[in-house]
Amino acid sequence: MPRPRVGVYNGVPALRAGDGSQMTKRHSLSMLLLAGLAACAGYGPGAVGVGSSEAQAVQTMGEPTSRYTMPDGSRRLEFARGPFGRHTYMVDLDAQGRVVNVEQVLDARHFARVTPGQTRDDVLRTLGRPGERVGMMRDGQIWSWRYANNDCLWWQAQFDALGVVTAAGYAPERGCDGSNDRSARMMPR
């Protein structure tokens, strides 16, 4: 790989790559600024609250990862922070496109709402997209969600071939060291 050389471009110190291209400090600053602007969409809901518009929610949080029509006809925007993220924010909108509720749904209270007999669509509207989907015998699937916890767990729902929940609960996350005792994980080996 060619080594960059320092030079001058239009009177401004610049790096010159071995291929003759140049990047000035001004260009570097511009690129950094653009990257910062691209990151303006926040991780969480920020100032989005009841009464905000859908446009304000999208401007603050970025494009939704999915949009759902709820059984009552209202709309829900999903902002999943995954697949390795441990938070999914749901923003509920009224008929006028105004926010009526904002909540983080990857927690025990929302997991408890998923029960055998519900469909895949029901689960998606409740928890949003899973971090992982794995096939199983007889065309079923296991969907897994990472969530904020200190015990190396994730929450899973098992679906039959028709897409109906047959079981749901907590399981050790694959790739963890197997111990749920944090002090044991911190000990040198």
Centre a 10 Å sphere on the Cβ of residue 18 and count the other Cβ atoms it contains.
10
- Domain 42-104 = CATH 3.30.1450.10: yes
Domain regions of the chain by residue span:
5-38, 42-104, 105-189
Are 39 and 62 in contact, with CB atoms under 8 Å apart?
no
40 burial type by CB count under 10 A (0-12 exposed, 13-18 middle, 19+ buried): exposed
pLDDT in tens, the chain (189 residues): 454 444 444 444 433 444 444 544 444 444 444 444 444 456 788 888 899 999 999 999 999 999 999 999 999 999 998 767 899 999 999 999 999 999 999 999 999 999 999 999 999 999 999 999 999 888 899 999 999 998 889 999 999 999 999 999 999 988 776 555 443 343 333
- Domain 105-189 = CATH 3.10.20.30: no
pLDDT at 62: 93
Using CA atoms, how far residue 30 sits from 23, 37, 94, in Å, is: 11, 11, 40
pLDDT at 60: 93
The radius of gyration computed from the CA coordinates of the chain, to the nearest angstrom, equals 23
